[in-house]
Structure 1
Amino acid sequence: MASTVKNRPGYGQLLRTPGAWTFLLPGFLARQPFAMLTIGIVLLVQHTTGSYASAGVVAAVTGVSMALFAPQSGKLADRFGQRAVLVPGVLLHTASVSALIALALSGAPLWALFAAAVPTGASVPQIGPMVRARWAAKLEGSPLMTTAAAFESVTDEFTFVVGPVLATALSTGVHPAGGLIAEAVLTLAGGLFFAAQSRTQPQPSRAAGHARVEHASALSIPGVRVLAVAFLGIGSVFGGMQVALTAFSEEIGNPGANGLLYGIFAAGNMLAGIACGAIAWKSGPRRRMVLGYAGLTLAASALWAVHSVALLAGLGLLVGLCIAPALIGGYTLVESLVPASARTEAFTWLTGAVALGQAAAVTVAGRLADEHGASAAFVVPLVGTALALLTLLALRSRLSPRAPGRIAARGMGHRVPVTVD
């Protein structure tokens, strides 16, 4: 699929980028709550209502709300600056989560929980896309962009390993609202800390004088629309695997296997992300992304037929290994498809697409699991990734860069052609 070269741009070189650590550390802290929100809501609402269905619907409302509003947050951040959006955003999110907790603990009706879930999801700080936008601004045209995309993928996956564990431990061992309280506190502290690092944020398009593009949406770029549809497939894997693995573990009478199986799945994603960032690819990100989706579809096609924990663990690992190239390829393409004045918005469209795909997958897979069992729920990742792959193959030409064949600087005295295929 690709091969390495002698002077490969690795993680060491990436982390020596001037000013990188000033936004990486606060960014890592600030993105932890993202992975705690859904499980925190499920555990609290299930405890107060006694219904997993109600808990799932409230969590889904939050996810859909985030998917719809995140791109608008990204667009405002591109125009006015990340700090201008983050500070009021984290304050609104903290207040919304606090209201959701109070309503749930007081036994409020479901419609009231929905009313609080909407602003809770809409105000989720888009730290991951903002960090990616900072990398893109610092590494404009550099071969290190692929390494940065891989690094962010690994960081995101590590977050989704640590965050749910922390939220579950607090909700089950301390207080039913413990996970959500921690999420709100970390959002407030981490978000304000990250916002304070204003020197490394991309220059706002309004300040830069981009009068002709400041109102243009990143979604007006055909390639971004294709990537957003493709990333719905990634969301279907995350949401479908969560439900299907839970249902499978319950069917075999070993609920504790769920954490192990999902951990192996997440580990596969992390390992592949590390490998992707350590390799200087000769093939472009577009080809790697298509191959990643092809492998993901192939691996997901066998999930429904597996009834052994050991086999499912191995297949889950393979599915996780295929996710990273698909995600990293898509995020890397943004740098060549989207002008700097709209990149934060573009990244949030992709993140929002994953959240929307996950919310839809949780709902569909949950119904299938209730009516037909875990095997039926495992069909959701297959259908989602297959549709995403067909979209990529049919609309592959729209992922061409804005300036094909342009030259990008490498280091101080080397130049390499930038390719996407």
Structure 2
Amino acid sequence: MSESVSPSDYRSALSAPGAAAPVITSLLARLPIAMIGLALLLYVEQETGTFAAAGLVSASTLTGVAFGSVLQGRVMDRVGPTVPLLVMSGIFTVLVAAEIAAIEMGATVTVLTVLAFTVGLTEPMTGPASRALWTQLLPPGAVRDAAYSYEAISMEVFFILGPGLAGLLVAMPWPGTGVVAGSACMVVGSVGFACTPAARRHRPLPQERPTGSMLGALATPGMRTVAVAALGFGALLGMVEVAVPAAAEEAGKPALGGLMLSVLSISSVIVGILYGMRPWPRPMHLRLPALLLGFAALIALLALPGTLWGLGLALLLAGSLITPQSTAHSVALELAAPVGTATEAFGWVITAVTLGAAAGQSLSGHLVERSGPPLAFVVAGAIGALLALALWLRRATLLPSTIHSEATLATM
């Protein structure tokens, strides 16, 4: 179980010796995390005139990110973050340039989609590397939990800023400005993080090196339970991200769709800080199903309001359980991830959320087209409840005694 954290714990974490440089550079690297895919979508739509092609390219980028986060994490767990981040930053820069050139030359959608996958695949995974670095900078306890909470909260802030920046930059004289600006920010931040003393010193100890299991971080049942929780969380978010703009368009105010989604993150950040001070339920094996079930119930309630004002208030309430879930997933990795797989384990969380969001967006789009946004909200709530039940049935995999037994067997 994780400890409660206080404001002083956040200060202690961020002011720990060696933490300042990684914190600043990782912020820069992660700022465009929710920006590049959307900026690419808007850029392709401007150049091709079709959202169908743009959506395919954007989805391909997300798929690449889903695979890349795990592959890069596995390498970082073996050699540390510096070399992988520097190599990926260089390859990523070349591939972004190739994607832009292909768009400008009017290449086929197939070419754009394949290049977009490689762009996502090579996005430098500074987020997982940053999260894993706290195990070196801080001892286990409330201060490290505060660092994990900070990671989740900062991601929420970037999910607010990223789409807004992408929408602003696509309106510039050249619509590819957002792709270039976001990519440059990610590369500069990733290279800066890779070159910090803390990142260069980060190497797995002999007893912390991962085992040879093909499953890697997913080798333990507890880690698979965390992945299911992240998948459900991503699926519900994906369904909301489609249904809310559809509700705004149905009300005759499509421009409010993105603004209304940002309401989710406002309450998420505020409640996330408060929740870290007194998390509930305390035991992690109960916390994951409880949080997902609560989130599912709040998403289902979005079907009730008949006005955009009412929907906005309901979104404010639903957003309150976003950061608590992100933080819980991050803290749960301390319990569930096999020894030596901290970076890859967080990569699996990113992959699960990304794949869940992609599936949720697809399903929500079909439901909205057939019956409108309320049905999408209700179905999202039902899916979340079913996955929460699955987490409840798997709760024993996150009991400390079970995890200890798994760790003992893994070392035999």
TM-score normalised by structure 2 residue count: 0.90
1:19-418 mapped onto 2 (5 Å cutoff): 19-200=18-199, 203-205=202-204, 208=206, 213=211, 217-279=216-278, 283-379=282-378, 381-401=380-400
Cα distance, 1:329 vs. partner?
1.2
- Map Cα deviations across residues 312-344 of structure 1 (whole Å, 9 max, x no partner): 111111211112222211210111222451100
The amino acid that maps onto 1:93 is F
The 3 A distance-change label for structure 1 pair 272 and 118 is same
Contact between 1:150 and 1:277, CA under 8 Å: does it hold in 2? yes
Q: Closer, same or farther in 2 for the Cα pair 1:339/1:139, shift >3 Å?
A: farther
For residue 403 of structure 1, report the CA deviation from its aligned partner.
8.0
Do the aligned residues in 1 keep the contact of 2:32 with 2:162 (CA within 8 Å)? Answer: yes
Specify whether residues 382 and 83 from structure 1 end up closer, same or farther in structure 2 by C-alpha distance, changes over 3 A only. Answer: same
- Relative distance call for 1:196 and 1:329 in structure 2 (3 A) is same
Question: Which one is further off, 252-261 or 380-389?
Answer: 380-389
Encode CA deviations 1:285-321: one digit per residue, 9 max, x unaligned. 3333332112101101122333311221111112111
Residue 377 of structure 1: how far off its partner (Å): 3.4
How far is the alpha carbon of 1:218 from its aligned partner?
0.7
Contact (CA 8 Å) 1:89, 1:125: kept in 2 or not? yes
Cα displacement string for residues 370-393 of structure 1 (whole angstroms, at most 9, x for unaligned residues): 333323333453244223312211
Question: Residues 27 and 131 of structure 1 are in contact (CA less than 8 Å); yes or no, is this contact kept in structure 2?
Answer: yes
For residues 50-99 of structure 1, the C-alpha deviation after alignment (integer angstroms, 9 at most, x for no partner) is 22222112111111222123111101000011112111111122222222
Identity across the alignment (%): 30
What is the CA-CA distance between 1:133 and the residue it aligns to? 0.5
Could you give the per-residue CA deviations for residues 238-297 of structure 1, whole angstroms, max 9, x where no partner exists?
A: 322221111111111112221321111111211122112344778233333332112101
Aligned CA RMSD, in angstroms, stands at 2.6
Aligned partners of 2:13 and 2:143 also within 8 Å: yes
Structure 1's consecutive aligned runs of 4 or more residues displaced over 4 angstroms after TM superposition are 2-5, 209-212, 402-405
Q: Post-superposition shift, 1:143?
A: 2.3
The aligned amino acid for 1:354 is V
Residues 153 and 269, structure 2, Cα contact 8 Å, conserved in 1: yes
Alignment check: 8 A CA contact 1:62 1:120 kept: yes
Aligned counterparts of 2:75 and 2:168: Cα–Cα separation in 1: 36
User: Equivalents in 1 of 2:371, 2:103: separation in Å?
Assistant: 31
Count of residues in correspondence between the two structures: 403
Alpha carbons of 1:18 and 1:229: their partners in 2 closer, same or farther (altered >3 Å)?
A: same
The equivalent residue for 2:409 is: none
Q: Which 5+ residue runs of structure 2 have no aligned equivalent?
A: 405-412
Quick one: distance in 2 between partners of 1:389 and 1:51? Answer: 38
Q: Which secondary structure does the structure 2 equivalent of 1:173 belong to?
A: coil
In 2, distance between residues paired with 1:258 and 1:265?
12
Q: Deviations over 1:96-131 (max 9, x none)?
A: 222222222222111111110111111122222111
Asked if structure 2 preserves the Cα contact closer than 8 Å seen for 1:272 and 1:321, the reply is yes
Deviation string 1:191-249 (CA, Å, 9 cap, x unpaired) is: 111110142467433x6365672666111111111111211112123322221111111
Q: Which runs of 5+ in 1 are unaligned?
A: 406-421
SS in 1 for 2:340: helix
Q: Which structure's residues are more often helix, by fraction?
A: 2
Whole-angstrom distance in 1 between the partners of 2:100 and 2:300: 40
TM-score of the pair, normalised by structure 1? 0.88
The separation in 2 between residues aligned to 1:14 and 1:284, in whole angstroms, is 23
Residue 150 of structure 2 aligns with an amino acid whose one-letter code is: F
